[in-house]
A = this chain, B = another copy of it.
């Protein structure tokens, strides 16, 4: 395998053209390879154009009228597009709003309220920190206890572990669909069914799968889901999150943060909260329009590419990296920290090394943008719309050279 092979893979890549629809870094930014699109996706050209249009036309020109001429509908409208493009969800169940943390909070509160006679929230000990903090916070607030599943950090929570943990006190199970460290892809269908057999409800955190792995929320019978849009959806730094509430739960959705945008008639300015029908009751404050435009344009690109083609390329890219890790990095002291079976792996690969922090810094200094995830993980994010095989190859060469230098030194 050499760079020519990598270029040949790019030549055959049906998604290769999408790379040109994003704004490239400048020469002075010294980016050899961007392997952190799973942390912050790159800016689509269309987002830049639409934001300028938003400012010049809707904001400057239509002014306050824009709220009734479209802005108020954006959270549900973009939610529906996201649902159709990548979530496997019918319309009317998804909105774009707040941050993932706030959406998680609202969702866990609503989920726990569906099982008022139960006392336990179950989650993964190695879940993303904000998930753990919110679970702890909600449990304390509601007088519930948390049961932590001791997952293997190099893989993730298995169906068997869930089966051993759930009990008749379990109200809610919260898991990440793709683990942020290992990229382990949980079995959403089996775990959701299992949770229901125990009489509990499930909340899936889709932050690391949305836009990279096909999701089938409706078909799996998922109760609630949340996720972020600034990773594989390329919506921009701190763009709003999304929240899915299965249609059958919406009438019972108790708004933890009841705000005017979740009211049945916000501009009637009624004194008492009267929740909107459907998913809109999950809204709280005024929709963040500039962030929403980023989500809209990010989703549009995923619609055009198709989630199945994205997934196919994600598997090819992670397989490509896996092969290079094995051939080049393992002999130099690195480990492989992700599932080897691509069916159990999302859109990134984690390389482990005792010196992960220092190596990550050196990689970034040499233009290979990766993410260090303590303790000991170097995360290589593969974003099918923007990542080329050639840049990935070049990055892995540099990675090898750094380890080789370290070993030689």
Q: CB < 8 Å: which of B98, B237, B371 contacts A102?
A: B98
Contact, CB under 8 Å: B371 / A64: yes
Contact, CB under 8 Å: A288 / B55: no
Known: A23-B55, A99-B288. 4 other contacts (CB 8 A): A29-B62, A102-B102, A137-B257, A238-B288
Residues of B within 8 A of A286 (CB): 99-101, 228, 230, 237-238
A98-B102, A258-B134, A290-B294 are known contacts. Are A63 and B34 too (CB-CB below 8 A)? yes
In Å, the complex CA distance between A55 and B45 comes to 9
In Å, the complex CA distance between A272 and B238 comes to 23
Residues of B within 8 A of A130 (CB): 259-260, 284-285
Tell me which of A82-90, A156-164, A263-271, A391-399 binds B. A263-271
A47-B55, A236-B289 are known contacts. Are A284 and B99 too (CB-CB below 8 A)? yes
Residues of B within 8 A of A43 (CB): 55, 59-60
Number of copies: 2
A405 within 8 A of B: no
Contact with B along A247-282 (1 / 0, CB 8 A): 000000001111111010011111111000000000
A240 within 8 A of B: yes
Which residues of A (87-129) have their CB < 8 Å from a CB of B?
98-102, 105, 125, 128-129
A51 within 8 A of B: yes
Contact with B along A39-79 (1 / 0, CB 8 A): 11011000110011001110111111111000100000000
In Å, the complex CA distance between A268 and B132 comes to 14
Contact, CB under 8 Å: B63 / A272: no
Contact with B along A130-168 (1 / 0, CB 8 A): 101110110001000000000000000000000000000
A137 to B, closest residue via Cβ: B258
Report 28 cross-chain contacts, Cβ distance below 8 Å, ordered by A residue: A23-B55, A25-B60, A26-B60, A29-B62, A34-B63, A36-B63, A42-B63, A59-B236, A66-B237, A98-B99, A98-B285, A100-B286, A101-B260, A101-B286, A102-B257, A105-B256, A125-B271, A128-B269, A129-B266, A129-B269, A137-B255, A236-B289, A237-B286, A237-B289, A237-B290, A239-B290, A267-B374, A291-B291
A24 within 8 A of B: yes
Contact, CB under 8 Å: A263 / B64: no
In Å, the complex CA distance between A287 and B100 comes to 11
A220 within 8 A of B: no
In Å, the complex CA distance between A51 and B266 comes to 30
With both chains docked as a complex, state the minimum distance between the C-beta of A95 and any C-beta of chain B, in angstroms.
13
Contact, CB under 8 Å: A105 / B136: no
Residues of B within 8 A of A99 (CB): 98, 259, 284-286, 288
A364 within 8 A of B: yes
Which residues of A (343-369) have their CB < 8 Å from a CB of B?
364, 369
Q: Chain A: how many interface residues by the 8 Å CB criterion?
A: 86
Residues of B within 8 A of A230 (CB): 286
Residues of B within 8 A of A48 (CB): 52, 55-56
With both chains docked as a complex, state the minimum distance between the C-beta of A212 and any C-beta of chain B, in angstroms.
17
With both chains docked as a complex, state the minimum distance between the C-beta of A14 and any C-beta of chain B, in angstroms.
24
Q: CB < 8 Å: which of B105, B271, B291, B374 contacts A268?
A: B374
In Å, the complex CA distance between A283 and B355 comes to 31
Contact, CB under 8 Å: A237 / B369: no
A324 within 8 A of B: no
A103 to B, closest residue via Cβ: B285
A169 within 8 A of B: no
Contact, CB under 8 Å: A258 / B52: no
A75 to B, closest residue via Cβ: B238
Residues of B within 8 A of A233 (CB): none
Contact, CB under 8 Å: A63 / B40: yes
A241 within 8 A of B: yes
In Å, the complex CA distance between A245 and B128 comes to 28
